[in-house]
A and B are shown apart, each in its own frame.
Chain A
Amino acid sequence: MKGILGRQDFVGGVAVIAVAAFAWWLARGLPGGGASAMGPGTLPKGLAVLLGVLGALLALSSLFDAGLPLRRWSPRAPLLVLGALVVFGLAVRPLGLVVAGPLAIAVGAFASSEVRWKETIVFGVLMTAFCIGLFKFALGLPIPLAPWLLGY
């Protein structure tokens, strides 16, 4: 991408401003207060304003100094790796580690372009078994194994 939208610092600056604005909006209802009795809102609002100004500086600086171009990115790896975590989080309580483990590995594995079906399944099962042995039995952590089958 060429032009100003392809500049790392411009996009970064705008993103920082957006975060600052969001934080300020979230903090809008919190009472402020003077220096002797700072309220809960004083710091969040103050920091949000400061962050917004800094973001604007970053965006402005990109107008004069092009800096680095925005790097290419593809949605595949983030989607699947983060998806694997979310799937694990969703599955661990109702279905237990027995299901959540292989599932997370299976979803995550597709983030790599060299994924192999059979290997992933075998590896996911073995790795989960290892983790159950380590975390559940050796360390005694209260992580659910298979509530629907074993009751814990």
Chain B
Amino acid sequence: MDLLANLGVGFATALTPMNLFLAFTGCFVGTLVGVLPGVGPIATIAMLMPLTLKVDPTGALIMLAGIYYGAQYGGSTTAILLNIPGEVTAVVTAIDGHEMARKGEAGAALGIAALGSFFAGSVATLVIAALGAPLTKLALLFGPAEYFGLMVFGLGLAIVLARGSVLKAVIMVVLGLLLSTVGTDLETGQDRLTLGIGELSDGVDFAVLAMGVFGIAEILRNLENPEARNVAIAQIGRLLPTREQLRRSFGPILRATGIGSILGILPGNGAVLGPFASYAVEKKLAQDPSRFGRGAIEGVAGPEAANNAGAQTSFIPLLTLGIPPNAVMALMVGAMTIHGLIPGPQVMTKHPTLFWGMIASMWIGNLLLLIINLPLIGLWVRLLRVPYRLMFTTILLFCAIGIYSINNNPYDVYFTAFFGLAGYLFIKLGLEPAPMLLGFVLGKLMEEKLRQALALSEGSFMTFVERPVAATLLALAAAVMVIAVLPAVNRSRQKAFQE
């Protein structure tokens, strides 16, 4: 079997002492930073990117992936213990997880979250390994028109999945596309929208943008709303769930793994939908739905498993098509480019050890999270008692050093401050930054593919209609947009995100 041979190569790469150490460090540091309230995975990765500058590309990606899972896991920990979801996907976990914590079952909630995530992660790793090769072959058949169609579909989904009004999400996507045009023109080499600032001719750095609108803006938001954090957690309780709790969680974890894996593959950040979908499904299937919201363990096990499965399978579009489906994957693109790799179908054929090593390290990372986090929960809780005034200054310093070190350029620090201000204004104006980031990430590639496609067709837009795959993707994009603005769907969508 090819698959087994490939996974063998992967494990041989991932299990070298160096890579194992990097995976461990990534998971540990990722959790450490992810536990801090208000620092989600995006800011964590952007902040810690310099940690990976000195290792080889495979090691760097293994470590970044570890940081990503760690940060996600850290987010669930604060969601359960403090009712502060580190990011959107942990919102659902907070509902029943925090209720369990208030009943003194915090340990069981954390335990089942870790076990469910581990199971889902293991399955998702196999999914990636199995789908990687065939999807890569498919990707090689894609022409510019198909790529363009796929990215439009991705943006359409991102708009539908964003919180708040559809109009605002469209605005943010277009703003992101516009930002992506800053810098040297691909074909003529002319400077565009650079204000004459030389540092901008390479375009806006994604890490800078992400750090500003997520990291810095989040600090500003927290400083303005000093919420009374209820850190006096009574009892963590036993970490291992009881046999009864395990029995209840088994079905939800299985179902959620399937739901999360499928949604994660979708372009346009389908993964965020996983926890919501899983929660809704479990509530429907439950014999006594009223238990949900009052500390039902299914409401923790399912969403956490779906979250992890989706987080994992969202690597598929990146590794096979070279299209990042969300902001975290866009940072991975940034990290790959720093190391001279161009994401896309050629990664698997040209760098098989990197590709399979990274996939194998995902499974190892999940195992490491299970091993290091359950005993360390006490440490994380103590970390939460650190006053915010010390926490945010530390984050600030790390951001500054991290951003400076990416290009050794003070301008990047100023740009981060600028985008921090922009992010602060977005918060004040109720504009969600996530769709903007995706628009920004896909913008450059979309322009390139659009211009290529039109050059090939000699300026005829019919190329997007005549080519069946491209036409289907564009039609799908149009369909999801139309559905999103239908009043009935729009209302239930708003409701779904409020819950």
The residues of A with any CB-CB pair to B shorter than 8 Å are 8-9, 11-12, 15-16, 19-20, 23, 26-27, 30, 34-41, 43-44, 47-48, 50-51, 54-55, 57-58, 61, 67-68, 70-71, 73-74, 77-78, 81-82, 84-86, 88-90, 92-93, 97, 100-101, 104-105, 108-109, 111-116, 119-120, 123-124, 127-128, 131, 135, 139-143
Contacts and interface: CB of A to CB of B under 8 A. Distances in A.
A89 B413 contact: yes
A108 B396 contact: yes
B3 interface: no
A89 B411 contact: yes
Contact of A8 (B387, B399, B430, B460): B430
B223 A111 contact: yes
Interface of B: 50-51, 53-54, 167-168, 170-171, 174-175, 177-178, 181, 185, 187-188, 190, 192-193, 195, 216, 219-220, 223-224, 226, 387-390, 392-394, 396-401, 404-405, 408, 410-411, 413-414, 416-417, 420-421, 424-425, 427-431, 447, 450-451, 454-455, 458-461
Contacts of B50: 135, 139, 141
B171 A81 contact: no
Contacts of B192: 26-27, 30, 40-41, 44
Contact of B224 (A57, A73, A82, A85): A73
Nearest to B429: A12
A89 B404 contact: yes
B21 to A, nearest CB: 13
Contacts of A20: 178
A67 B164 CA distance: 11
B396 A85 contact: yes
Contacts of B195: 26
A27 B404 contact: no
Given A44-B178, A47-B174, A81 B219 contact: yes
Contacts of A47: 174, 177-178, 181
B396 A51 contact: no
Question: B171, B390, B430: which has the most chain A beta carbons within 10 Å?
Answer: B171
B401 A109 contact: no
A88 B170 contact: no
Contacts of B398: 131
B450 A89 contact: no
B417 A82 contact: yes
A139 B60 CA distance: 13
B454 to A, nearest CB: 5
Nearest to A88: B400
A93 B409 CA distance: 9
B410 A135 contact: no
A34 to B, nearest CB: 6
B171 A105 contact: no
Contacts of B450: 38
A12 B185 contact: no
Contact of B420 (A82, A113, A119): A82
A141 B429 contact: no
A54 B185 CA distance: 25
Contacts of A89: 400, 404, 410-411, 413-414, 417
A57 B427 CA distance: 20
A78 B178 contact: no
A84 B396 contact: yes
A114 B389 contact: yes
B396 A105 contact: yes
A111 B190 CA distance: 41
A92 B397 contact: no
B193 A27 contact: yes
B167 A108 contact: no
B57 to A, nearest CB: 16
A127 B397 contact: yes
Given A40-B192, A85-B216, A139 B175 contact: no
Contact of B167 (A44, A58, A68, A97): A58
B163 to A, nearest CB: 13
B428 A112 contact: no
Lowest 4 A-B CB distances belong to which pairs?
Answer: A36-B459, A40-B185, A89-B413, A12-B429
